């Protein structure tokens, strides 16, 4: 007697570029290793959407969303309302999923999770259990609320397991699967290596500092930008500082009449926002990274590049305890001391956390297939 397995319909909902990077391998792995077991569709809400960057981004990663919700650029409440209405229409009229998977902690994540819950659809949370313990961050509230209604907790690191168990979540629903962002890095490592960012920007391998700063606490006020400027002025003069600048950061520099001061720094190289391959090539070739981003902490840990994260907290503690990341408040002297440690070779040597091996997507699909 032949038993025919029912194909499981999986709907993945993303809204921002960082979260899209976490889901690039699902269709490919399903086709190669789970033939006939999954029907996977991807929804892009449009929470963060720039047409000029989108086509390059989707083309590089070789995966296009099946549905665009095309929500308006509005307040968080308005955006979430639009997502829920339009996503429900997709589910009821076009694709009726058995499970909805939401990555991360942005407003699209919460809106899609609430839609799944209200429609009685099984919900999986990718990057579940991460906590900064700072509820002034909207992302922290989103993470907590999504985990309250999830059925599958897909965890990237041990802290996620610890947090979920402490919050009373059922142990059998918690799965340490690794990090799907690393899956993308591994899958596209040759494409990343082929980007020649050194020659095109007159840079030397391991001799420049890569910086990404975009958080509102630093760039949305004049004091924060002046603090950044002061740091840049006192950083090592013999190292080029490569700064792919976020549009909001650039707009605020202009708003507070600081453009000339930034432009006169001789060792500062301002770049436009970079595509995924180009930016990862910069990480691969730099001496160190200064950032206030979340995902870059994980990417540098995997690549074992020194990273100084200029934030009061992080939801990714394994990058600190295992990896190559150090958390610093925006204190200029502390930052300069750590930069000196990196340059003199006395900085810590980071390791790669368990299961960050490029196989996380496969583990998730195995768990869904067997439940």
- Active site (catalytic) residues: 214
> How many C-alpha atoms does 191 have within 13 Å on its Cβ side?
15
For the packed helices 295-303 and 180-187, what is the interaxial angle rounded to 10 degrees? 50
> Residue 328 belongs to what H/E stretch?
strand 325-328
Q: Which of 74, 72, 56 is closest to 64 using CA atoms? A: 56
Burial 15-52 (b: 16+ CB within 10 A, else e): bbbbbbbbbbbbbebbeeebeebbebbbbbbbbbbeee
> Whose CA is closest to 298, among 277, 285, 283?
283
Q: CB neighbours (10 Å) of residue 137?
A: 17
Which strands make up the sheet holding 38-44, listed edge to edge?
67-68, 38-44, 8-14, 99-103, 122-126, 152-155, 174-176
Closest listed residue to residue 268, CA positions, set 303, 229, 294: 229
Burial class (CB in 10 A: 0-12, 13-18, 19+), 119: middle
């Amino acid at each position: 007697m032949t038993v025919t397995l029912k194909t499981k319909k999986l709907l993945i909902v993303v809204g921002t570029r960082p979260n899209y990077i976490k889901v690039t391998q699902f269709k490919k792995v399903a086709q190669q290793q789970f033939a006939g077991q999954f029907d996977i569709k991807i929804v892009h809400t449009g929470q963060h959407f720039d047409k000029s960057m989108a086509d390059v981004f989707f083309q590089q990663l070789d995966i296009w969303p099946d549905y665009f919700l095309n929500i308006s650029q509005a307040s968080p409440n308005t955006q979430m309302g639009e997502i829920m209405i339009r996503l429900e229409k997709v589910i009821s009229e076009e694709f009726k999923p058995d499970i909805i998977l939401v990555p991360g902690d942005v407003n699209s994540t919460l809106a899609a999770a609430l839609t799944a819950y209200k429609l009685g659809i099984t919900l999986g949370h990718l990057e579940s259990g991460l906590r900064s313990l700072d509820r002034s961050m909207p992302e922290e509230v989103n993470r907590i609320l999504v985990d309250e209604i999830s059925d599958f907790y897909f965890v990237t690191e041990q802290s996620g397991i610890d947090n979920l168990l402490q919050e009373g979540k059922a142990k059998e629903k918690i799965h340490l699967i690794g990090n799907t962002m690393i899956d993308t890095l591994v899958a596209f490592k040759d494409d990343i290596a082929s980007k020649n960012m050194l020659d095109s920007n007159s840079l030397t391998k391991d001799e420049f500092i890569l910086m990404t700063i975009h958080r509102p606490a630093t760039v949305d006020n004049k004091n924060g930008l002046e603090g950044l400027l002061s740091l840049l002025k006192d950083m090592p003069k013999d190292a080029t500082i490569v700064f792919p600048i976020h549009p909001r950061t650039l707009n605020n520099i202009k708003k507070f009449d600081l453009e000339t001061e930034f432009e006169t720094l001789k060792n500062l190289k301002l770049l436009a926002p970079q595509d995924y391959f180009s930016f990862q090539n910069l990480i691969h070739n730099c001496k160190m990274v200064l950032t206030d981003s979340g995902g870059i902490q994980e990417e540098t840990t995997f690549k074992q590049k020194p990273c100084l994260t200029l934030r009061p907290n992080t939801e990714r503690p394994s990058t600190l305890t295992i990896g190559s990341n150090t958390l610093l408040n925006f204190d200029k002297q502390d930052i300069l001391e750590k930069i000196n440690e990196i340059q003199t070779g006395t900085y810590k040597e980071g390791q790669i956390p368990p299961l960050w091996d490029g196989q996380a997507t496969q583990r998730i699909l195995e768990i869904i297939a067997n439940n």
